């Protein structure tokens, strides 16, 4: 490689800074790593997948920024094709295949096959339907997408226009798109890939509209992939911020397409041969598939945040800027209070959200087990907890990804840093699977209802409604986890009580988002405080992270907590940050990301950031001689000559 021109001392210093920071780790990272991944076995499985997948030539992570959209799509398909070979070679389960695709860190053309199409069928299909379609779905003998959103209707699912009308003469449903606005739109993996879809359509029986239901529909031929008659399918075009490039989000129209009655997903609601409607036992069951996806989203957000904060803390550890000190060196950027105050709470969020993701996963599984027995008693609690956490985790992850990127200064804006890519890919997560502002309304409605019913749960409850009735004024200087959590429960109870007294939302247009945030914060705080009391792996450093999360959450709520001593609180935050700082590298190493997974010049494990940046820039196709010459002859030469002539005329 050519000389970089960066003085050797700075490059050696970067490595030395990283090694020194790592050597200050005061805890055993192995149990923490196991906790982050779920357990030791989950970590081993993950590491094994990374070892296999990272040697696959088709997964060209550093090459991504130089690919066109067509190339990204084609590469995405090549990855899926190769990984399905690996699935057979390595006897991977569906879940292992999904995890293998996830470790590539990219959103692939048929990601929705495993994250929406398959789970919705498994959870909403009858036993007979699963028996018939399940093996083909698992083996990727068919590729599916999830078609709910329409050009004119997203949030308001009840207003979807696509119709599924039962024809008793032929025992079929007729799917139809009656208007332009009824065109299915934004459907991941549909534009050029999917052979099948689960379609949300308004069920019409004997002239009556019975609301949206799910239908299994073939779209393309399994012989030659051509579009089947009556379907109009295409790609909706590139996405904002250059994100989700490999995915063919598509549109779909039906012109009186007939499907057998059997194809309505009928675990819960059914239509009989005579055209009679059999009601689901619980109205919300129809949206059960969405709950699964929301439960998964929390895990994804943790790993995105984990990557972003690992990159940012590593870079800020080796980056030195500012006045040279007695040691002859400029300070490390991470040593500035205004830097670590920005970054450590993001690290804390990644850890605390991991606890939330695991807690909610267990709640979701418990709810599903009960639902399978026809018992919907846990559904309202899990539904609201997942809605509140979808909002809180995706919102804070988005904010954290940008803060982590900005903390890296100009280099953070380079594609080679990796932070911008994580941010762009996560950006729509606050919109899909329920727009966050709309979910706020559901959380607030449930909280106000609980308040009006006088619900009061025991103090040790971890329910999303545990804050209700907790109106005893908090202490002015909460420090312990229990007191901080109690402060946040008080704040939630108080803002819900005040909101319930509002005549209408025009009196306080921002109230719903604030109330939902207060409910979400109280829920997270209850689980975080409980985890601290139960004990966490890693001892003090991890405990301090959880405490930092609680302290900064109370800080963000000060407007609702006038009697809390803000100066004392901020002093505790400063002390917690200072205590955590020596372990910052260890706490990020605990995630266990390899350099291949991070795909970031700024986040390299050994701190050799300048070498990594230089190498990536040197390899950039943009620096090849011939294209530049072409542009020079075509345009640059003319611009310069014109300019010279103008100057000569002066």
* DSSP letter, residue 474: P
Contacts of 307 (CB under 8 A, 6+ apart): 105, 418, 422, 591, 593, 597, 598, 600, 603
The minimum distance between CB 108 and ligand FAD, in angstroms, equals 13
* Of 146 and 251, CB closest to ligand FAD: 146
Nearer to ligand FAD, 129 or 148 (CB): 148
> Are 392 and 352 contacting, i.e. CB atoms less than 8 angstroms apart?
no
Q: Which of 167, 161, 234, 153 is nearest to 205 (CA)?
A: 167
Return the exposure string of 610-626: e unless at least 16 CB atoms fall within 10 Å of the residue's CB, then b. bbbbbbbeeeeeeeeee
What separation, in Å, do the N-terminal and C-terminal C-alpha atoms of the chain show? 46
Minimum Å gap between C-beta 316 and ligand FAD is 30
Q: Is 431 assigned a ligand-binding role in the annotation? A: no
| In the complex, least distance from residue 504 CB atom to ligand FAD, rounded to whole angstroms | 13
- Residue from 295, 501, 286 nearest 385 by CA: 295
Distances in whole angstroms, Cα of residue 568 to Cα of each of 341, 554, 573: 16, 12, 9
Closest approach of Cβ 43 to ligand FAD, in Å?
30
214 touches 264 (CB < 8 A):
yes
133 closest CA partner among 214, 222, 216, 231: 216
Tell me how far, at minimum, the Cβ of 287 lies from ligand FAD, in Å: 12
CA atoms within 13 A on the CB side of 507: 7
* Nearer to ligand FAD among residue 77 and residue 486 (C-beta): 77
Q: How far is the CB of 143 from ligand FAD (least distance, A)?
A: 13
* Residue with smaller CB distance to ligand FAD, 84 or 431: 431
Catalytic residue among 172, 363, 433, 512: 433
Q: Which residues contact 140 (CB under 8 A, 6 or more apart)?
A: 80, 84, 113
Nearer to ligand FAD by C-beta: 105 or 428? Answer: 428
- Beta strands 196-205 and 144-147 are parallel
Measured from the CB of residue 346, what is the shortest distance to ligand FAD in angstroms?
A: 23
Nearest residue to ligand FAD, scored by beta-carbon proximity: 154
Count the alpha carbons within 13 Å of 61 in the hemisphere toward its beta carbon. 23
The percent of the chain in helix, strand and coil, each rounded to the nearest 5, is 60, 10, 30
CB of 369 to ligand FAD, least distance (A): 27
Count the Cβ atoms, other than its own, within 10 Å of residue 562. 8
Nearer to ligand FAD, 193 or 470 (CB): 193
Contact between 479 and 453 (Cβ < 8 Å): no
If you count DSSP H runs as helices and E runs as strands, how many of each does the chain have, helices first? 22, 11
Residues at the site binding ligand FAD, with contacts judged by CB under 6 A: 112, 146-149, 154-155, 186-188, 244, 249, 428, 431-432, 435, 437-438
- Quick one: three-class SS letters along 221-279? CCCCCCECCCEEEEECCCCHHHCCCCCCCEEEEECCEEEEHHHECCCCCEECCCCCEEC
**Is residue 297 within 8 Å of 390, Cβ to Cβ?**
yes
Closer by beta carbon to ligand FAD, 219 or else 590: 219
Q: What is the dihedral of CA 347, 353, 358, 363, to 10 degrees?
A: 170
Report whether 520 contacts 391 (CB < 8 A). Answer: yes
| Residue 149 assigned to a binding site | yes
Q: Is 340:397 a contact under the CB 8 Å cutoff? A: no
433 is catalytic: yes
Choice between 176 and 294, CB closer to ligand FAD: 294
Task: Could you list the residues known to form a binding site for FAD, using ranges.
Answer: 149, 188
Catalytic residues, which ones?
A: 433
Task: Could you list the residues known to form a binding site, using ranges.
Answer: 149, 188
């Amino acid at each position: 490689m050519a000389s970089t021109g960066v003085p050797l001392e700075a490059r050696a210093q970067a490595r030395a800074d990283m090694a020194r920071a790592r050597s200050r780790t005061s805890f055993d990272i192995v149990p923490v790593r196991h906790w982050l991944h779920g357990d030791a076995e989950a970590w081993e499985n993950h590491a094994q997948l990374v070892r296999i997948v990272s040697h696959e030539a088709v997964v060209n992570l550093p090459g991504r920024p130089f690919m066109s959209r067509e190339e990204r799509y084609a590469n995405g398909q090549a990855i899926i094709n190769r990984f399905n070979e690996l699935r057979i070679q390595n006897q991977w389960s569906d879940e292992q295949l999904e995890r293998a695709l996830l470790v590539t860190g990219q959103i692939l053309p048929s990601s929705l096959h495993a994250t929406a199409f398959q789970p919705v069928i498994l959870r909403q299909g009858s036993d007979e339907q699963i028996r018939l379609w399940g093996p083909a779905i698992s083996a990727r003998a068919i590729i599916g997408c999830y078609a709910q959103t329409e050009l004119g209707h997203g949030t308001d699912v009840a207003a979807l226009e696509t119709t599924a009308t039962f024809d008793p003469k032929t025992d079929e449903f007729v799917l139809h798109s009656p208007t332009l606005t009824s065109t299915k739109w934004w459907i991941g993996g549909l534009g050029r890939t999917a052979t099948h879809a689960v379609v949300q359509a308004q069920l019409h029986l004997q002239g009556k509209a019975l609301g949206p239901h799910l239908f299994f529909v073939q779209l393309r031929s399994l012989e030659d992939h051509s579009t089947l008659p009556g379907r109009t399918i295409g790609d909706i075009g590139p996405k904002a911020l250059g994100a989700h490039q490999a995915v063919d989000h598509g549109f779909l129209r039906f012109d009186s397409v007939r499907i057998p009655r059997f194809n309505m997903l009928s675990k819960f609601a059914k239509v009989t041969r005579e055209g009679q409607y059999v009601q689901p036992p619980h109205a919300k069951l129809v949206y059960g598939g969405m709950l699964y996806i929301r439960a998964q989203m929390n895990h994804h957000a943790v790993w995105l945040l984990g990557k972003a904060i690992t990159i940012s803390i590593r870079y800020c550890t080796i980056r030195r800027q500012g006045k040279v000190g007695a040691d002859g060196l400029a300070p490390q950027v991470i040593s500035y209070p205004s830097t670590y105050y920005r970054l450590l709470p993001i690290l804390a969020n990644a850890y605390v959200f991991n606890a939330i993701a695991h807690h909610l996963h267990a709640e979701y599984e418990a709810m599903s087990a009960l639902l399978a027995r026809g018992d919907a008693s846990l559904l309202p609690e899990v539904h609201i907890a997942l809605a509140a956490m979808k909002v809180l985790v995706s919102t804070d992850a988005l904010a954290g990804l940008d803060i982590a990127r900005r903390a890296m200064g100009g280099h953070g804006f380079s594609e080679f840093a990796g932070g911008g890519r994580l941010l762009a890919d996560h950006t729509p997560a606050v919109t899909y699977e329920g727009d966050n502002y709309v979910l706020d309304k559901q959380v607030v409605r449930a909280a106000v209802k609980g308040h009006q019913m006088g619900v009061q749960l025991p103090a040790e409850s971890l329910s999303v409604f545990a804050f209700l009735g907790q109106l005893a004024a908090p202490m002015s200087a909460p420090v312990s986890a229990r007191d901080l959590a109690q402060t946040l429960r008080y704040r939630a109870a108080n803002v819900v009580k005040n909101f319930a007294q509002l005549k209408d939302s025009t009196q306080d247009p921002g109230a719903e988002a604030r109330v939902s945030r207060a409910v979400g914060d109280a829920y997270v705080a209850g689980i975080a405080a409980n985890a601290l009391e139960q004990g966490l792996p890693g001892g003090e450093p991890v405990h301090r992270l959880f405490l930092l999360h609680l302290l900064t959450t109370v800080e963000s709520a000060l407007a609702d907590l006038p009697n809390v001593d803000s100066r004392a609180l901020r002093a505790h935050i400063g002390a917690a940050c200072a205590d955590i700082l020596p372990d910052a590298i260890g706490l990020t190493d605990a995630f266990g990301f390899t350099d291949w997974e991070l795909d970031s010049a700024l986040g390299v494990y050994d701190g050799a950031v300048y070498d990594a940046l230089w190498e990536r820039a040197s390899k950039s196709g943009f620096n090849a001689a011939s294209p530049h010459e072409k542009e020079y002859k075509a345009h640059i030469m003319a611009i310069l000559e014109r300019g010279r002539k103008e100057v000569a005329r002066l």
